[in-house]
Amino acid sequence: MELIIKRALEAAKLALDSLEDKGRELGAGAFGDISTVADVTSEKAIIDVLKDAIPGITILSEEAGLLGDPDNSEYLAIVDPVDGTVNLKQDLPFYSAAVAISKGEKFSDIIAAGIINLVNGEVIIANEKCVYINGKPAKPSNISSLSDAVISFDLKVFKHGEKLSKFAERIASKARYARFMGSAALETAYVGCGRLDCFLALNGVRVVDMAAAAYIVTRSGGAVKCLDGSLENLNLLYTGDVKYVAAANDKLLKELIEIFSEP
């Protein structure tokens, strides 16, 4: 499955490399977000590879929605063809594509996942045993204190609830450095590779945005916690938003959750 995912992601990058007018808007996708030429082109490239390699696969993708019948398919693919569309439209070089493949409808059923940096072609692949970045084994950092951590979180959280805004303020003030780069999938995956020590999706993202990345973190030895339920029982076909925290290890996650629990 890892090779199939890698081929699908590399096909997406190849399709975008020769594409003009990437950011041109085409209307709304299946989840209601604005769809661009890049989104649709990347999605087609990924879906073509998956369908050719795994006949009968059901696919849930951000632009096309649900393709197939999960009740009658052995495999389910969760696809985000472009994560960081705003960056792409602004020509900011940080956006990605993600694919997760499962044998059921829960997060715990995922068997392989991958993410590609659509700018430089770097591929992060995870199976049930390990994680690779460009073919080399990847691990989270050994940072276990927030005061030493480089973190990233979505600044849109400050537009919403007071509790989450206060949590974000506390985390940012205690962390060594705070960043936000605009692709939740890639930033989450970077926790699994040791480039970031934690990522906080406090504003909430869809399952298509986070399934592959969260799997990468957990398979690398990092920790992921959903703030509104169990990660393992997360329904991959859920269309609402998921708030979660990804951390390099349990000790760092514990510190984050303790801060979240403060009044």
Class of domain 146-260: alpha beta
The arithmetic mean of pLDDT across residues 181-210, rounded, is: 94
Percent of the chain with pLDDT over 90: 75
Instruction: For 112-137, write each residue's pLDDT tens digit.
Output: 999 999 999 999 999 999 999 999 99
Look at residue 208 in the predicted model and tell me its pLDDT. 95
Q: State the Cα–Cα distance between residues 140 and 179, nearest whole angstrom.
A: 17
What pTM does this model have?
0.94
- Range of weakest confidence among 23-27, 139-143, 236-240: 23-27
Q: Which pLDDT tens digit goes with each residue over 21-58?
A: 887 877 666 665 778 899 999 999 999 999 999 999 99
Residue 12, pLDDT above cutoff 80: yes
**C-alpha to C-alpha distance for 135 and 196, rounded to whole angstroms:** 19
Residue 94 is given by DSSP the state: -
- Sequence spans of domains, the chain: 2-137, 146-260
Alpha carbons 114 and 116: distance in angstroms, whole number: 7
Comparing 4-8, 100-104, 224-228, the range with the smallest average pLDDT is 224-228
Alpha helices (H) along 109-200: 162-174, 184-193
Angle between helices 162-174 and 250-260 (to 10 degrees): 130
CATH assignment, 2-137: 3.30.540.10
Paired tokens of 58: 């059901």
